[in-house]
């Protein structure tokens, strides 16, 4: 009986030993394979020393670039919108000048010269007409609505297709804030001085033309130019009556003087622009 008891005791010890060996082997194998063993004490955590949060910095840089790009897009969109408005104004001006050209060609023969786009320091004159009845300067506006004027202050009331006023008191002025009469008189005064300096004592008749078919005239007070008219409805005889009669040769020489002065001013502008660019390059840092 003792022997049997000893055998049972030994068998129990062997069984316990086998269980302990199996548990040890189970914990040892994951460590050998590079796996992290389960934390036996969850309350004790490793300390973290963060030298650099590289991922967060990268995300912040991406966000900064995105914001900069969005701001650049907004600025370029605003520039494009301004250019679109400017382009529309230029195209409208060209259309109005073309309407005046068509009208003048129908009314005058080859004894007259139409000078388009004369430019000088004081400004531009859209069209100059030179011929037997004198020298005439035209400022063309291709704007619809009801046109009002009080001296050198000009404005309009915008209308819809049915003639109903949809917006009032819109100023009429160029980018420098000059009204149509100021634009025309500044340039025409300078042209008249130029002609007198060259021996031609002639008056430059000033005419403001609204070429848009939807333009009508409202309150016109203290007009500071000679005539205000529509392109198709211009009273040509009345306008010509204000001019200084010229011989054919004198009219031709006046047209030549105007053209040469325009060309001289253009060369001066280009030289000035070239000088400014050279100066800018001379003082700009090397890249």
Q: How many CB atoms lie within 10 A of CB 136?
A: 26
Q: How many CB atoms lie within 10 A of CB 252?
A: 15
Interval 110-136: pLDDT, tens: 999 999 999 999 999 999 999 999 999
Average pLDDT over residues 16-42: 58
Please tell me what DSSP assigns to residue 222: S
Q: Rounded to the nearest 5 degrees, what angle is found at the Cα of 254, between the Cα atoms of 258 and 225?
A: 75
Q: How many CB atoms lie within 10 A of CB 112?
A: 17
Helix (H, G, I), strand (E, B) or coil at 16: helix
pLDDT at 286: 34
Interval 220-259: pLDDT, tens: 999 999 999 998 889 999 999 999 999 999 999 999 999 9
Question: Any residues with CB less than 8 A from the CB of 20 and at least 6 apart, and which?
Answer: none
Helix (H, G, I), strand (E, B) or coil at 241: coil
**pLDDT of 275 higher than 60:** no
Longest alpha-carbon distance in the chain? 159
User: Which pTM does this prediction carry?
Assistant: 0.72
Interval 170-199: pLDDT, tens: 999 998 999 999 999 999 999 999 999 999
Helix (H, G, I), strand (E, B) or coil at 131: strand
**pLDDT of 287 higher than 50:** no
Average pLDDT over residues 7-15: 58
- Rounded Cα distance between 146 and 172, Å, is 11
Interval 137-146: pLDDT, tens: 999 999 999 9
**pLDDT of 15 higher than 80:** no
Interval 31-59: pLDDT, tens: 555 555 555 555 677 777 777 677 788 88
């Amino acid at each position: 009986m003792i022997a049997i008891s000893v055998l049972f005791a030994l068998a129990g010890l062997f069984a316990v030993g086998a269980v302990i060996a199996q548990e040890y082997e189970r914990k040892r194998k994951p460590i050998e394979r590079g796996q992290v063993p389960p934390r036996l004490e969850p309350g004790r955590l490793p300390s973290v020393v963060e030298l650099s949060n590289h991922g967060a910095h990268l995300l912040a840089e991406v966000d900064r670039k995105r914001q900069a790009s969005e701001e650049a897009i907004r600025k370029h969109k605003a520039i494009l919108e301004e250019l679109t408005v400017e382009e529309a104004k230029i195209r409208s001006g060209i259309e109005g000048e073309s309407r005046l050209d068509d009208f003048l060609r129908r009314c005058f023969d080859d004894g007259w010269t139409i000078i388009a786009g004369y430019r000088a320091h004081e400004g531009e004159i859209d069209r100059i007409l030179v011929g037997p009845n004198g020298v005439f300067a035209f400022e063309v506006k291709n704007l619809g609505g009801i046109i009002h004027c009080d001296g050198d202050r000009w404005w309009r009331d915008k209308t819809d297709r049915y003639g109903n006023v949809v917006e009032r008191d819109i100023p009429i002025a160029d980018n420098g804030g000059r009204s149509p009469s100021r634009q025309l008189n500044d340039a025409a005064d300078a042209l008249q001085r130029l002609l007198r300096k060259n021996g031609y004592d002639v008056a430059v008749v000033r005419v403001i033309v609204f070429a848009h078919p939807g333009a009508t005239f409202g309150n016109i007070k203290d007009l500071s130019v000679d005539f205000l008219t529509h392109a198709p409805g211009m009273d040509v005889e009345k306008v010509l009556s204000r001019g200084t009669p010229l011989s054919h040769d004198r009219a031709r020489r006046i047209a030549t003087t105007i053209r040469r002065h325009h060309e001289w001013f253009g060369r001066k502008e280009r030289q000035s622009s070239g000088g400014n660019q050279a100066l800018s390059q001379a003082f700009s840092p090397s890249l």
